Structure 1
Amino acid sequence: MFVPGNYVRAVRNTTTLYDMDYVDNQDGTVTDQSTGLMWSKSDSGKRMNWVEALEYADNATLAGHSDWRLPNAKELQSLVDYEKVDFPAINTNFFEVTPSQFESQQDSYYFWTSSTQGDFKHTAVYVTFAQAWSKKNSDATEYFDWHGAGAQRSDPKSGSPSDYELASEMASDYISIDNWVRLVRDAK
């Protein structure tokens, strides 16, 4: 079997994913000076489908600002704290978290992004701040944290999870559809 090689790009300098420069604005928002983004300190407080999440962001007014939006996948990924050894994988010194346990797929801490998943226009990307649940195949009954905190996966934008269950011999992701939201805006 032929396995093609991969290309490597070498870079010099020191950099880290962990150079966030958070400022608590004391008004329900946090600014990351390293990215120029302002975030809602609290999550949405409840789960919602993607269409509801867009509406929630569009109607949000916080700290005198009304230009809140869903973050794109790259922006949301910047909040993942990969150095944490417990859940949630976000800096809880600055960000508030609604759930108090992260033990099963029902506790999934998935956050919607504004990013539609490629050619699959009925799905949108989420980023997980706890486990990223999958099972061995569609016949299996037990879910495992196969992808880990910070994983980017996708969910259908609306509907019922049972509408989207597919037969698969490969891993089958947990379908939530109702996910969390953390608002963002450009700090300017």
Structure 2
Amino acid sequence: MLISVAISCSDDSDNDNVDEGTEESVDGNLPDITGFPIVDTNQSTYYDNSTSMSTPSVGDDFYGQDATYQGNQPSYTDNGDGTVTDNVTGLMWQNTLDHNQDGTIDYDDKLTYDEILALEEGNYTYAGYSDWRVPSIKEQYSLMAFSGRDISGYEGTSTDGLTPFINTDYFDYAYGDTNAGERLIDVQCASTNVSVGSAIEMVFGVNFADGRIKGYGTTMMGQDKVFNYLLVRGNTTYGVNDFTDNGDGTISDEATGLMWMQDDNGEGVNWKEALSHAESMEFAGYTDWRLPNAKELQSIVDYTRSPQTTSSAAIDPLFNSTQITNEAGEADYPFYWSGTTHANWTSGNDGAWGAYVAFGRAMGNESMPTGPMGDTSTTTTDSSAVDWTDVHGAGAQRSDPKDGDPDDYPTGNGPQGDAVRVFNYVRLVRNIN
């Protein structure tokens, strides 16, 4: 019999903004919400290039990062029947990863990708509802909370003091089942989106242990890979953009209430420079441009597009994206900085990496000795072992050092050798209203 990894209910100061919703609900605790309202990242801590810092003032270095701008604060209602309603998005979720309902979240609760898809096709019934569906990657990502701490590189077995990227006040969660041979980081929740540019079948998933999106192969070592999952119902328009070209170099998304610059900044910059660029921008008569947070930036990814299949960035053709040459010498498109810090479990250097979204290939070193199994952070220096390829898929959300020299990472970073660029591109956003 498998013993569950203890559920982490670590309390974090960044969770102070989470409260129960009070909106009137319809259709079985579903608020009457349509469109694509983006839930804030729940990041309220300020960071410099290495760790947390005091609140910066206008004009200071690092002003304008995620914590500066508080959007639609997370708001959930526990319905008391095994479901949670998100009062911002209008989505209802299963509230636990314990799918076999044996009181333990472990390896036995996971299914293969085909088995997860079959739940929807078989009119799966849960809590009295039979209209559950497998979430899209944008629906799944709405649950991501950047008050979490990435456990990459953590070699312990205890989960005490670890903070996942999902609100454990409302969702029952556990790290990977080490008693079944998993790593603590194995909490990959599958979505309906697949990587259209991949040579093998890869499904995009959100990992609530490390705070990332990547494409996961549906097989591993000759066997079907198993995934965590949370089914969803309600607001079938969530994740669907409604873009308008305003004719002045800006694009409005009426679904999210955000206005975007049609062009990017045209060059790679470090994170502090990205923030400064955003805060000093005046364009199309607006002076309130900012660096988007990770969830806002991911909202404009078009997961039907990729450099391999459409010879374009993974974004609507209304937008213009600077073409780059990637680590493999291929025509490609940039990583884009968000204002969100990708904090980790360490102390003293916990805020040194910033979250980005790959609108082109999410490059990695295929020759890394640990191969596609790993998610821990290590760095090698044998540049003769480099075989650059798209290991995560266009639309992946990863992280980069906020500052430094990318030449210090000649074979990439981590077990899949993630390409480290440091100097990433910028696409600015503002609220329409």
TM class by smaller structure: 0.7 to 0.9
Distance 1:63 1:114, change over 3 A: same
Are 2:255 and 1:34 aligned? yes
Alignment of 1:1-188 (within 5 A): 2=2, 4=107, 5-6=109-110, 8-13=229-234, 15=236, 19-84=240-305, 85-86=309-310, 87-92=312-317, 94-99=318-323, 104=328, 107-119=332-344, 120-135=350-365, 136-137=367-368, 138=380, 139=382, 140-163=385-408, 170-188=415-433
Aligned residues: 187
- Deviation (angstroms), 1:132: 0.3
Gapped runs of 5+ residues in structure 1?
A: none
Structure 1 stretch 33-42 or stretch 97-106: which is displaced more? Answer: 97-106
Highest RCO, 1 vs 2 (Cα 8 Å, sep ≥ 6)? 1
User: Could you list the runs of 4 or more consecutive aligned residues of structure 1 that deviate by over 4 angstroms after TM superposition?
Assistant: 100-103, 105-108, 164-169
The amino acid of 1:115's aligned partner reads T
Distance 1:29 1:60, change over 3 A: same
The amino acid of 1:76's aligned partner reads L
Structure 1 stretch 130-139 or stretch 172-181: which is displaced more? Answer: 130-139
2:406 & 2:239 partners in 1: Cα distance? Answer: 35
Q: Contact 1:43–1:98 at 8 Å: present in 2 too?
A: yes
1:146 & 1:18 partners in 2: Cα distance? Answer: 24
1:53 & 1:146 partners in 2: Cα distance? Answer: 26
Match of 2:156 in 1: none
The amino acid of 2:427's aligned partner reads R
1:20 & 1:90 partners in 2: Cα distance? Answer: 11
Where 1:95 maps in the other structure, the secondary structure is coil
1:75 & 1:114 partners in 2: Cα distance? Answer: 10
Q: TM-score, normalised by structure 2?
A: 0.40
Per-residue CA deviations over 1:83-141 (Å, capped at 9, x if unaligned) read: 1232311112x111221766836745100000101223111011001100111323421
Where 1:172 maps in the other structure, the secondary structure is coil
1:102 & 1:48 partners in 2: Cα distance? Answer: 16
- Deviation (angstroms), 1:167: 9.0
1:70 & 1:21 partners in 2: Cα distance? Answer: 21
Structure 1 stretch 28-37 or stretch 83-92: which is displaced more? Answer: 83-92
Where 1:51 maps in the other structure, the secondary structure is helix
Match of 2:81 in 1: none
- Deviation (angstroms), 1:58: 0.7
1:21 & 1:77 partners in 2: Cα distance? Answer: 15
- Deviation (angstroms), 1:8: 4.7
Structure possessing the higher radius of gyration over alpha carbons: 2
Gapped runs of 5+ residues in structure 2?
A: 3-105, 111-227, 345-349, 369-379
2:229 & 2:321 partners in 1: Cα distance? Answer: 38
C-alpha RMSD over aligned residues = 2.6
Q: Contact 1:57–1:70 at 8 Å: present in 2 too?
A: yes
1:118 & 1:131 partners in 2: Cα distance? Answer: 24
1:19 & 1:169 partners in 2: Cα distance? Answer: 33
The amino acid of 2:353's aligned partner reads T
Where 2:352 maps in the other structure, the secondary structure is strand
Q: TM-score, normalised by structure 1?
A: 0.87
Where 1:74 maps in the other structure, the secondary structure is helix
